[in-house]
Structure 1
Amino acid sequence: MSQEPDRLFAVPLPTVPDFTFNEAVARVFPDMIKRSVPGYPTIVENIGVLAAQFAQPHSVLYDLGSSLGAVTQALRRHVSCGDCRVIAVDNSSAMVERCSEYLHAQDSMFQELLPVEVVEADILGLHLQPTSFVALNFTLQFIQPPQRLELLTAIRQALLPGGALILSEKLRFEDEQEHELLTDLHVAFKRANGYSELEIAQKRNAIENVMKPDSLEQHRERLLAAGFSKVVPWFQCLNFASLIALP
């Protein structure tokens, strides 16, 4: 299975289309995400570590917005809870197809991994089974803002006592100087990872209409409104963060 370097925005485009998780993006996604999101490998691996603390026997673990299944693979590496299974859900057929291939490759390398069901579906219309662990890893920011509380409420209602939601997101900041500083540092991160000014500018244009970040306080307030009792930030690198929300 080929993994290509991300050159999607390396040549000038007459019109930059809105970003979509299509086949072209799926082909380069591992390279794109590693070079674009500071701390991404740390977040993904530790979601598996955290999941092992909350997963309960005979329950479902969800990876919602699973893309190529990096979080699902981390769950399978770290969770050994009896009779658990993972449901990985994404609405991109290109991502679902490649996710299934990656998980098949993981099956061939390891024994006694948690079973996985990969589902192509809109997570907003999903009927969630009782679950002890849910990961929304850089997914909520692509959901229309008016629908975010509805999704989080559905997750909270499905979450078993003692379970947890991990929510990872790009942040915006209410303080204008803080927002500008961390935005500039994120651009510097992308430059350091080999992206040109053209690539950075065109990718920004492609994603600005489809990804709408919230502030940390907005996330906290929304999670509490959804019925969670405690929201704990556990990771931040520049303007990217991950939170634990407890029922």
Structure 2
Amino acid sequence: MRAFPAPRRPTVNRQPDQLFAQPLDQVPDFVFNEDVARVFPDMIKRSVPGYPTIVENIGMLAGQFAQPHSVLYDLGSSLGAVTQALRRHVQLEDCRVVAVDNSSAMVERCREYLHAQNSMFQELLPVEVIEADILAMQFQPTSLVALNFTLQFIEPAQRQPLLARIRQALLPGGALILSEKLRFEDDGQHALLTNLHVAFKRANGYSELEIAQKRSAIENVMLPDSLEQHRERLHAAGFSKVVPWFQCLNFASLVALP
């Protein structure tokens, strides 16, 4: 197996997230536009507990499930962090990564980041970056699908049909890795973890104004499910086993097996 140096982050126009630092007369719904793409690495690191650990370990997990002569999908790829992890950890014959996002701003910058990765490592898996709606895609036979904080932005009624199509495309022995923000059925548990998540953002330098305005922007766009809902939906889509492998505060990642 190849020995890689510790992963470095491509230095492609990295800027601090100050999108909600000034008072807004009306807070618009959150959109993955050029402004968000420009600050996304800083935003996601300061907003999602455990994000770097999740991303790097998706690459490690992929190494256990990826198969030769198959496609690996990064659906909702944003700037391609998961795609980069897949390419660091998987080296198989006739295997490639397809990264898909419906934001043109994200797709453009993702290609820049992957170009930077190509200059840092050799013998990486080939990758294709596509601007598309994953709800309209026809999936090729695949051994690994990553939905990393993507499903929560899809209309709830569309979630199970998408998962069912992924399951149909998944090869025996493959896996779906699903990372999501969670809500909790127990009101006390939900309040506790929500407050701890706010404390996490404060500790990462976000002001009360930024936290409040970001919450207003995203509350009608991102609709989290409970762990129980994820289990039920995945089983209904045809997955035989659903195993949580990571949780930090109200963010979790699951492995679903065919």
> Shorter-chain TM-score category?
over 0.9
| Alpha-carbon shift at residue 220 of structure 1 (Å) | 0.2
Q: Percent identity?
A: 84
User: 2:20 aligned to 9, 13, 18, which one?
Assistant: 9
Q: How does 1:11-50 map to 2 (within 5 A)?
A: 11-50=22-61
Listed one character per residue, the Cα deviations across residues 63-120 of structure 1 (whole Å, up to 9, x for unaligned) are 0000000000000000011110000000000000000000011111111000000000
Give SS of 2:83's match. Answer: helix
- Tell whether 2:151 aligns with 1:140: yes
CA distance in 2 between counterparts of 1:8 and 1:111 reads 36
- Tell whether 2:109 aligns with 1:102: no
| Alpha-carbon shift at residue 122 of structure 1 (Å) | 0.3
| Alpha-carbon shift at residue 206 of structure 1 (Å) | 0.1
Listed one character per residue, the Cα deviations across residues 183-212 of structure 1 (whole Å, up to 9, x for unaligned) are 000000000000000000000000000000
Which amino acid is 1:127 matched to?
A: Q
Aligned residue number for residue 198 of structure 1 = 209
| Alpha-carbon shift at residue 166 of structure 1 (Å) | 0.1
Give SS of 1:169's match. Answer: strand
User: 2:90 aligned to 59, 75, 79, which one?
Assistant: 79
Question: What are structure 2's unaligned runs of at least 5 residues?
Answer: 1-11
Aligned residue number for residue 200 of structure 2 = 189
Aligned residue number for residue 217 of structure 1 = 228
User: 1:54 aligned to 30, 42, 65, which one?
Assistant: 65
CA distance in 1 between counterparts of 2:190 and 2:39 reads 28
CA distance in 2 between counterparts of 1:57 and 1:148 reads 28
Listed one character per residue, the Cα deviations across residues 157-190 of structure 1 (whole Å, up to 9, x for unaligned) are 0000000000000000000000000000000000
Question: What are structure 1's unaligned runs of at least 5 residues?
Answer: none
Give SS of 2:23's match. Answer: coil
Which amino acid is 1:236 matched to?
A: Q
Alignment TM-score, normalising by the size of structure 2: 0.95
Aligned residues: 247
Aligned residue number for residue 7 of structure 2 = none
- Tell whether 2:67 aligns with 1:67: no
| Alpha-carbon shift at residue 55 of structure 1 (Å) | 0.4
- Tell whether 2:120 aligns with 1:120: no
Aligned residue number for residue 237 of structure 1 = 248
CA distance in 1 between counterparts of 2:211 and 2:161 reads 33
Give SS of 2:58's match. Answer: helix
Moved segments of 4+, more than 3 Å: none
- Tell whether 2:239 aligns with 1:228: yes
Alignment TM-score, normalising by the size of structure 1: 1.00
CA distance in 1 between counterparts of 2:93 and 2:226 reads 37
Give SS of 1:166's match. Answer: strand
Give SS of 2:82's match. Answer: helix
| Alpha-carbon shift at residue 2 of structure 1 (Å) | 1.0
CA distance in 2 between counterparts of 1:205 and 1:127 reads 34
